[in-house]
Homo-oligomer: A and B are copies of this chain.
Amino acid sequence: MAIKKLGSQTILFKNPPSIIATGSIVGPKEGEGPLKNYYDVILNDDLKNEKSWEKCESKMQIDAINTALNKSNLTEKDIDYLFAGDLLNQIISSGFAARKLAIPFFGLYGACSTMTESLSLGAMAVDGGFADKVICVTSSHFSTAERQFRYPLELGNQRALTTQWTVTGSGAAILSSEDKGPFITHVTTGKVVDPGIKDVNNMGAAMAPAAADTIVQHFKDSGFKIDDYDLIITGDLATIGKGIALDLIKKEGFDITSIYTDCGIEIFDNKKQDTHSGGSGCGCSAVVFTGYIYKEMLEGNVNRVLLVSTGALHSPTSVQQGESVPGIAHAITISNKKD
C-alpha cells in the first residue's frame, strides 16, 4: 500500500477529516481574559458544585463533549472513539469522564501536547476508515496541576517570573468524514527533544526546542511555504518559550515571526492578570483552538492554521531523581480547504 507520508514525520490525509463542532469551557480567570467572548461556557468558580478540583476537571471534559455533541445534533452513540488525556496522574480526569460516556476510549498522555496528539490520532482513525466520527478532548485545571506538580496552594508560595499559569478549561472537537470544513489536512508527529533544562519553573524553555524541531520538520516535509499559513500557534511556550522557539526556527532558515504566536500568550492579559510568562496546561491550546481559532476559521477570518501543542514530559518523581525535562510537540494543519 502507498504510504501517505511526506518526509519523515508528516502525513497528508487523502480524505481530510472535518472538524464539525467544538465545545469549550473555562474557569473564571480565563473567562476574564482577552478571548472571553469565544468560549461556550465560563464557570463562576473553579469547583462547579463538585467536591474536589479533580472532580470539577473531569466534569469539564464531559461538559465540553456534550456542548460539541449538542451543536452537531449528535449523541454519544454516534461516536466511534473517544481520544482523551490530561495532566493528572493516571489521567483520571479523562478516565472518569469516559466512565460517564458509552464510547470506546483511547487514553492518551502527551502532557500539554495532548490536544494535537488526540486530534492526530482521531484524524488518522477517520481518514483510515476506522471511524466515521470521533471526539478528541483534553483538560487542565490550575488547582489540580499546582498541587500535583508544585506546591499545596495553601502554602501561598511565591511564583518565579518564568512560571506559567495552568489554564482551567477543557476543549473538545468532533471529527467526521463529512465533506465540510475546517479540515485536518496534515499531521506532523513530534519526537522527544531534551534541552537539559532542570528548572521546573521554566517549562517554556524546556519545550521550545521540541516545538522548533516539529515546526521546522513540518515545513521540510510538507513543502508548505510560510506564506501558505495565516497563523502558526504553539500550545503553551508562553513569553519565554516563544522567543526561544522563534530564534531556533530562524537558525534553521525559517522566519515565521509575522504569523506566529502562542496560545499561552493569547489566553491571558499577562500584565493585568499577573500570569508571569503566560498560560499553560493541556487546556490552554484546547480552549484557544476549540474556542477562538475554530470560530475565527468558521468566519473565514483565518483560513489555514498550524496548531502545535507542546508538552513537558516530566513528573515530580523524575525531577526528584535529577532528571531534566524533555519536551514534545505535535503539529496539525487545519484548513478551510481540503487541499
Contact = CB atoms under 8 A, between A and B. Distances in A.
Interface string A87-124: 11111100110110111111111110000010011001
A146 interface: no
A181 to B, nearest CB: 17
A3 B99 contact: no
Interface string A309-324: 0000111111001010
A3 B88 CA distance: 34
A99 to B, nearest CB: 4
A120 B11 CA distance: 19
A25 interface: no
A230 interface: no
Contacts of A5: 80, 130-131
A121 B121 CA distance: 8
Contacts of A152: none
A236 interface: no
A7 B102 CA distance: 14
Given A95-B326, A105-B190, A111 B90 contact: yes
A328 interface: yes
A55 B321 contact: yes
Nearest to A314: B90
